[in-house]
């Protein structure tokens, strides 16, 4: 671990563990390393870094093309932002031109212009994210950056930070819960003032949604969402950490813990309002429907308790996202939910629609009705093989 009590760490020695930087130093000696990689080096986690943010005082796109050619990688140019991403050798390099910025109005996107490394650092969110390392050993850092790292605390760079970009409020919670950092007293006061003053309403819902999705994917997402649940985000969120923990224990690997968490917090939100809110936040349709399904898990739970046969259980949960079944189990039907998640949902028929068509059943609703009847019989153990399933299906189709 680096000793952070000095003026700045001995970064050149520490960068040796970042193997992905070796070819960058040779190709782009004028580049600066910034962002999460620097933070991970400071925290002693540099060996696990595979993504690198590189700052260029000049043309970042040209630098990316040069790096891609040297590494035999692929480059993706983001014309709108003047940035580029290079993928090579299992590493990802995001290159950006150093810039300065100003905000025309609270919550608006900034006006930007090319700038210096110092100017770029001073536009960032927190001091611990405002450190840049050059490959020749030079270090640039915002005021208080190293002392804040030593104290394990988050501090904004200027008093108008949350007013200029209120999404930093969500980032404050995200970094605090992920890193286990405290919040500097003045920063905490300014954050409370910004939330109470309606700063979040000055940002488009889509930008709030982007930050919220990142927060929900954090390892400590339950604690993070609980910290923002009382904020004016558009709907009333209620986080029950114990309930989420029980549901997460039932959730299979193919489930989405982030959507389970958000849906569980929206159980008191009316369905139409919830769908409208999720749409405004920019959630893709499938994710929106999953969250909405989880929020309605109370109805599933009540019917699961009364299901006495596997086919009845399947009827209750059919069409519901697996995350909703997990939450229903946590609400009071753990055995039924576990049976569906671990076993019954994987049961398949030995027949398909084509078999029924070949047997003379006309195409249409009768096919679906016949297959559903065969599946119910299969689940209940009454039609274990193909012949038995076909017989049930033909009988159901009349």
For residue 67, pLDDT over 70 is answered with yes
Q: How would you class 103 by CB atoms within 10 Å of its CB: exposed for 0-12, middle for 13-18, buried for 19 or more?
A: middle
List, in order, residues 6 or more apart from 365 with CB less than 8 Å away: none
Q: Do both 376 and 336 map to the same domain?
A: no
* Max Cα–Cα distance, the chain, nearest Å: 84
Domain assignment of residue 25, yes or no: yes
CA atoms of 279 and 293, how far apart (whole Å):
15
Q: Is 171 helix (H, G, I), strand (E, B) or coil?
A: helix
Across 25-41, average pLDDT: 88
Percent of the chain with pLDDT over 70: 94
pLDDT at 2: 35
Among residues 122, 151, 180, the one where a domain terminates is: 151
Q: Do both 293 and 385 map to the same domain?
A: no
Domain assignment of residue 298, yes or no: yes
Which structural domain range is residue 307 located in? Answer: 234-346
Q: Do both 138 and 255 map to the same domain?
A: no
Among residues 346, 374, 389, the one where a domain terminates is: 346
Q: Do both 33 and 134 map to the same domain?
A: yes
> Which residue bears the tokens 């399933």?
389
CA atoms of 169 and 243, how far apart (whole Å):
26
For residue 3, pLDDT over 60 is answered with no
Q: Is 26 helix (H, G, I), strand (E, B) or coil?
A: helix
Across 142-154, average pLDDT: 94
**Average model confidence (pLDDT) across the chain:** 91
For residue 1, pLDDT over 80 is answered with no
Q: Do both 42 and 132 map to the same domain?
A: yes
Q: How many CA atoms does the CB half-sphere of 275 hold within 13 Å?
A: 7
Q: How many helices, marked H, and strands, marked E, lie in the chain?
A: 22, 11
Q: Do both 137 and 21 map to the same domain?
A: yes
Among residues 309, 326, 346, the one where a domain terminates is: 346
pLDDT at 192: 97
Domain assignment of residue 229, yes or no: no
For residue 4, pLDDT over 90 is answered with no
Domain assignment of residue 378, yes or no: yes
Higher-confidence residue: 377 or 134? 377
Across 259-272, average pLDDT: 97
Across 195-219, average pLDDT: 96
pTM above 0.75, yes or no: yes
Q: Do both 317 and 373 map to the same domain?
A: no
Reported as a pLDDT band with limits 50, 70 and 90, residue 13 is low
pLDDT at 10: 56
Across 301-324, average pLDDT: 93
Q: Which of 275, 279, 262 is CA-nearest to residue 205?
A: 279
Q: How would you class 251 by CB atoms within 10 Å of its CB: exposed for 0-12, middle for 13-18, buried for 19 or more?
A: buried
| Start-end of H helices in 123-256 | 145-151, 161-164, 167-179, 185-196, 205-216, 221-228, 241-250
Q: How many domains are contained in the chain?
A: 3
Domain assignment of residue 126, yes or no: yes
- Give the orientation angle of helix 285-295 with respect to helix 271-280, to 10 degrees: 150
Reported as a pLDDT band with limits 50, 70 and 90, residue 14 is low
Across 207-225, average pLDDT: 97
Reported as a pLDDT band with limits 50, 70 and 90, residue 19 is low
Q: Do both 268 and 305 map to the same domain?
A: yes
Where does the chain show beta strands of DSSP type E?
A: 32-34, 51-56, 74-78, 83-88, 91-97, 99-102, 111-114, 131-134, 139-141, 153-154, 182-183
Q: Do both 305 and 378 map to the same domain?
A: no
For residue 267, pLDDT over 70 is answered with yes
For residue 114, pLDDT over 90 is answered with no
CA atoms of 392 and 329, how far apart (whole Å):
31
Q: How many CA atoms does the CB half-sphere of 198 hold within 13 Å?
A: 2
Domain assignment of residue 201, yes or no: no
Q: Do both 147 and 16 map to the same domain?
A: yes
For residue 258, pLDDT over 60 is answered with yes
Q: Tell me whether strands 111-114 and 131-134 are parallel, antiparallel or unpaired.
A: unpaired
Domain assignment of residue 164, yes or no: no
pLDDT at 5: 36
Q: Do both 255 and 129 map to the same domain?
A: no
Reported as a pLDDT band with limits 50, 70 and 90, residue 7 is very low
Structure confidence by residue, pLDDT tens digits, 89-101: 888 999 999 988 7
Domain assignment of residue 187, yes or no: no
Residue 97 maps to which CATH number? Answer: 3.30.460.10
Q: Do both 373 and 257 map to the same domain?
A: no
């Amino acid at each position: 671990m680096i000793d952070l009590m000095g003026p700045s760490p001995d970064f050149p020695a520490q960068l040796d563990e970042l193997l992905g930087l070796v070819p960058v130093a040779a190709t782009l000696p004028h580049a600066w390393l910034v962002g999460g990689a620097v933070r991970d080096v400071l925290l002693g986690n540099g060996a696990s870094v595979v993504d690198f943010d590189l700052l260029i005082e000049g043309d970042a796109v040209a630098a990316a093309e040069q790096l891609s050619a040297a590494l035999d990688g692929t480059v993706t140019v983001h014309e709108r932002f003047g940035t580029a991403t290079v993928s090579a050798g299992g590493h990802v390099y995001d290159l950006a031109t150093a810039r300065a910025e100003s905000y025309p109005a609270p919550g608006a996107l900034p006006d930007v212009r090319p700038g210096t490394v110092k100017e770029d650092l001073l536009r960032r969110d927190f001091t611990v994210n405002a450190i840049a390392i050059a490959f020749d050993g030079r270090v640039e850092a915002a005021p208080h950056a190293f002392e804040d790292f030593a104290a394990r605390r988050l501090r904004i760079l200027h008093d108008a930070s949350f007013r200029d970009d209120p999404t930093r409020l969500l980032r404050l919670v995200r970094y605090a819960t992920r890193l286990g950092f405290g919040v500097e007293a003045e920063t905490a006061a300014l954050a409370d003032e910004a939330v109470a003053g309606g700063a979040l309403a000055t940002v488009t819902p889509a930008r709030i949604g982007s930050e919220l999705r990142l927060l929900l994917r954090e390892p400590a997402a339950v604690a993070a969402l609980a910290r923002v649940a009382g904020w004016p985000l558009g709907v009333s969120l209620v986080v029950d950490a114990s309930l989420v923990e029980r549901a997460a224990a039932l959730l299979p690997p193919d489930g989405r813990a982030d959507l389970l968490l958000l849906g569980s917090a929206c159980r008191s939100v009316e369905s139409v309002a919830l769908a409208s809110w999720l749409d405004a936040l920019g959630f893709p349709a499938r994710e929106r429907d999953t969250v909405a399904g989880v929020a309605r898990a109370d109805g599933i739970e009540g019917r699961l308790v009364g299901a006495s046969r596997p086919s009845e259980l399947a009827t209750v949960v059919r069409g519901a996202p697996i995350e909703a079944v997990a939450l229903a189990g946590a609400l009071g039907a753990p055995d039924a939910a576990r049976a569906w998640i671990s076993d019954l949902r994987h049961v398949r028929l030995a027949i398909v629609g084509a078999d029924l068509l070949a047997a003379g059943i006309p195409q249409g609703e009768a096919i679906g009705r016949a297959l559903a009847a065969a599946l119910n019989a299969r689940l209940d153990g009454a039609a274990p093989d193909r012949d038995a399933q076909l017989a049930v299906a033909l009988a159901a189709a009349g």
